Amino acid sequence: MSGNNWTNFVREKAGEMGVSYMVAIKDPSVSAEYKDLKKNVKQTRMVDNYAQLKDDALEMAELINPTLPKRKAGRPAKYANDEERKEAKKAKTLASNKKKREEKRELII
């Protein structure tokens, strides 16, 4: 179709309503419907554009200043896994028990 968006819209509405173009263009409901359509399209573009701009800004910020992974608070782990930690605990406990037994023997003697 040739023409602008308004004239094309009026032609389509005239065909749907079964009236001539001149009658449809004078109908206020056609004008109101076209305004609502334009408003919704504009708002959708604005929302889409905002989302696009936000994503682009986040990507650029990430490239300029990449986020570093957060470090865990507190003292760093002494052992790599739980098995090593348990083995070390067991060894400490055995050494402590042995030391206490020796102290008791010295007190008895």
Structure-block tokens of residue 39: 């408003």
Per-residue pLDDT, averaged over 51-66, amounts to: 85
Q: How far is CA 37 from CA 24, 44, 50, 99, in A?
A: 16, 11, 20, 87
- Average pLDDT over every residue of 81-93: 94
> Which helix or strand (DSSP H or E) is residue 30 part of?
helix 28-64
- Its pTM surpasses 0.75: no
Decide which of 47 and 35 is more confident.
35
What are the tokens at 105? 């023997």
Decide if pLDDT at 59 tops 60.
yes
Q: pLDDT band at 40, cuts 50/70/90?
A: confident
For the chain, give the mean pLDDT: 87
**Residue 3 vs residue 6, higher pLDDT:** 6
Dig out the tokens for 73 from the structure: 């608070």
Question: What pLDDT sits at residue 1?
Answer: 57
